[in-house]
Structure 1
Amino acid sequence: MYRPLLRLLPALLVMLASASVLAEEVQVAVAANFTAPMKLIAADFEKDTGHKTVLSFGATGKFYAQITNGAPFDVFLAADTETPAKLEKEGAAVSGSSFTYATGRLVLWSAKPGVVDDKGAALLRGEFKHLAIAAPKLAPYGAAAIETMTKVGLLPSLEPKLVQGESIGQTFSMIASGNAELGFVALSQVFEDGKIKSGSAWVVPTNLHSPIRQDAVLLTRAKNNQAAVQLVAYLKTEKAKNVIRSFGYEP
């Protein structure tokens, strides 16, 4: 009675082997501000396609240096538009593959309730020792923070209090730990279910800094990697866009 099953066994093994061959791995460099949504998107992508994602999070400027020095990334989700465009121009990314996957928002945030008001007057009062920002030369959210303080005329008075994180992730940690009383981070880091999830915050008006458009790009080394190609396409799906929206970004 088991002979029919035994006859099917070789065919089943071939099918399993084929599935494992078709499944590929994609190495993804992700701007630190996009950590939480990308973890969810990657999990959905793996479930829907069978491909494996390996995620690395950090500063856009640092990733650019690593990629141009041969780091084995396949897809790059930057925190700006300039860096992916530069990689395309230099031949490190597939020409025409970059697109805006999210537009971010800047927020002045403190881990403690009542420190930051919803108008940003905490900056004017200056009743704090340390104001954390991401390194402006490495992280676009840091550049947006400098632009904001310049526009409101407070940069000269606040500059002595600035402390810098290498990435927006490190900046968030400085504030969350209390090493800095407040600082500028990405809204996505403190936003959940349509509201600020802890502490106190001022969502910076978009007219105080340049738009934080974030582009993704397929890197040249991965142009024949189906997992990488499919991930780039997956980021444009409505399923991925819904995740992106849930963290306060515009897709």
Structure 2
Amino acid sequence: MRTRLPRPAAITLGSLLVLNTAWATEVQVAVAANFTAPMQAIARDFQNDTGHKLIAAYGATGQFYAQIRNGAPFEVFLAADDSTPAKLEQEKAIVPGSRFTYAIGTLALWSAKPGYVDSQGQVLQDNAYQHLAIANPKTAPYGLAAVQVLDKLKLTEATRPKLVEGQNITQAFQFVSTGNAELGFVALSQIYKDGKVESGSAWVVPSSLHAPIRQDAVVLEKGRDNPAAKALVEYLKGPKAAVIIKAYGYEI
């Protein structure tokens, strides 16, 4: 004898499926350029696990700040520093209590040429290269960290005529990867995956040579009532995101 599912239970199951679909929504996110690769990986898992869709734009933190203050439709902001989100908090442009550090970044001196950069960064002191790429230190925190390193090593004047400045860390990376600069300061996450540098040669810059690159995230005012914005922030704090973030060379 075949057992039939009671009619009320069948209706309830269907209602739950409809309800789950109705709650799924999308979130507009501004993401610091250095976090592009891990964010793309996190976005895939986030959508699979929650049903929410993440629409991301990648760029320089300083440029995003200006866009946000001019009304850009971003709901969540993942900066490359902690000072910009703090400034937005002071300006009451974020949801109170939403600011947190999602990653601590690492700076690297990198060349697309294997063996070109030694493990101690002596290539900088040797000064035999023609071009050194950095991100704009006024808008990109990794560019600012690069300038601090050069200052600490007393190489500011020697390197000044050799600097090739990108609008953000992605462009600085592109200058090096295409050979337009022999070496450059990039985010370790751009060249690192699962415990190793994927190509070329690099010096992982000691954190003592620059201010900590604490990267904070916030829910912006435009995301106050968006459940996907809240879900993303919670997801970034979770274990699955942590595994991805660490795989790209960040600290938590």
CA-to-partner distance for each residue in 1:182-231, whole Å, 9 max, x for gaps? 00000011111211111011111111001100000000111110000010
Report 1:65-76 matches (<5 A). Answer: 65-76=66-77
What is the rounded CA distance, in whole Å, between the counterparts of 2:17 and 2:26 in structure 1? Answer: 17
- Whole-angstrom distance in 1 between the partners of 2:248 and 2:24: 29
The secondary structure found in structure 2 opposite 1:188 is helix
Return the alpha-carbon distance in structure 1 between the equivalents of residues 106 and 223 of structure 2: 30
SS in 1 for 2:66: helix
CA distance in 2, matches of 1:162, 1:63: 24
Counterpart residue type for residue 220 of structure 1: E
Match of 2:144 in 1: 143
Separation (CA, whole Å) in 2 of partners of 1:12 and 1:192: 42
Deviation at 1:88, TM superposition (A): 1.1
* Matches of 1:17 and 1:233, distance apart in 2: 24
Which residue does 1:49 correspond to in 2? 50
CA distance in 1, matches of 2:95, 2:16: 33
* 1:211 aligned partner, one-letter code: P
> Does structure 2 conserve the Cα–Cα contact (< 8 Å) formed by 1:117 and 1:202?
yes
Question: So what's the TM-score if we normalise by structure 2?
Answer: 0.94
CA-to-aligned-CA distance 1:19-58 (integer Å, 9 cap, x gap): 3320010011100000111111111111111001001110
Aligned to 2:117: 116
Shift of 1:13: 6.5
> How many matched pairs?
250
Q: Tell me by how many angstroms 1:14 deviates.
A: 5.0
1:16, CA displacement in angstroms? Answer: 4.6
> For the Cα contact (< 8 Å) 1:191–1:248, is it kept in 2?
yes
CA deviation profile, 1:49-86 (whole Å, cap 9, x unmatched): 10010011100000000100000001000000000111
Matches within 5 A, 1:1-251: 14-251=15-252
* Code of the aligned partner of 1:35: T
Q: Distance in 1 between matches of 2:177 and 2:24?
A: 39
Q: Aligned equivalents of 1:121 and 1:65: distance in 2?
A: 37
Q: 129-138 or 86-95: which moved more?
A: 86-95
State TM-score, norm by structure 1: 0.94
The 1-side partners of 2:50 and 2:206 are apart by 39
Provide the C-alpha distance between the structure 2 equivalents of 1:169 and 1:59, rounded to a whole number of angstroms: 9
Structure 1 unaligned segments of length 5 or more: list them: none
Q: Which runs of 5+ in 2 are unaligned?
A: none
Query: Structure 2 CA distance, aligned partners of 1:246 and 1:200?
Result: 18
- After superposition, give the CA deviation of every residue in 1:116-156 in whole Å (9 maximum; x if it has no partner): 11111111111111100000001000000000000010111
Matching residue's letter, 1:68: R
- Flag the 1:236–1:11 CA change in 2: closer, same or farther, 3 A: closer
**TM-aligned CA deviation for residue 8 of structure 1:** 9.8
Paired letter, 1:232: V
What is the identity, as a one-letter code, of the residue corresponding to 2:118? Answer: D
Large movers: runs of 4+ above 2 Å: 7-20
CA contact (8 A) 1:108 1:182 kept: yes
Q: Which moved more, 1:87-96 or 1:204-213?
A: 87-96
- CA drift of 1:159 comes to 0.6
> Does the residue aligned with 1:216 lie in a helix, a strand or coil?
strand
- Secondary structure of 2:28 counterpart: strand
CA contact 1:36–1:189 (8 Å) conserved in 2: yes
Q: Secondary structure at the match of 1:73?
A: coil
Q: Secondary structure of 1:79's match?
A: coil
Report the AA paired with residue 213 of structure 2.
I
